[in-house]
Amino acid sequence: MPVFLLYLRLEQHPKLISEHPPRRGMDRFALDALAKARVPTIVYVSCDPSTLARDIQRLQKTGYALQESVVVDMFPQTYHIESVNLLTLA
């Protein structure tokens, strides 16, 4: 179970959520729950730029803004990259 859903179940209000979904990105229900939680800061780690763009676009529609994105080449001499992205409520 994703960490943020556990927090929602416990009715706590986390200040930061770190998410590292599989290559297919976050599903719609997880994104909806994350947006509903109104967590002030999200750190989204992604290994697929296309699903990252899709998920960030969905989060932006709910009030989040991308503050910073850093690309990390963890697998030199391959096309695989990781990116670490900071989103905050606007």
Pairing, β 82-89 against β 64-72: antiparallel
Ordered domains of the chain (ranges, CATH): 17-89 (3.40.50.150)
Is the full-model pTM beyond 0.95? Answer: no
Could you tell me the pLDDT band of residue 68, with boundaries at 50, 70 and 90? very high
Which position among 17, 34, 39, 47 bears the catalytic label? 47
pLDDT for 29-38, tens place per residue? 888 888 888 8
Q: Is 9 left (phi over 0), alpha (psi -120 to 50) or beta?
A: alpha
Q: Is 55 a catalytic site residue? A: no
Higher pLDDT, 62 or 90: 62
Q: SS in 3 state form for the chain?
A: CCHHHHHHHCCCCCCEEEECCCCCCCCHHHHHHHHHHCCCEEEEEECCHHHHHHHHHHHHCCCEEEEEEEEECCCCCCCCCEEEEEEEEC
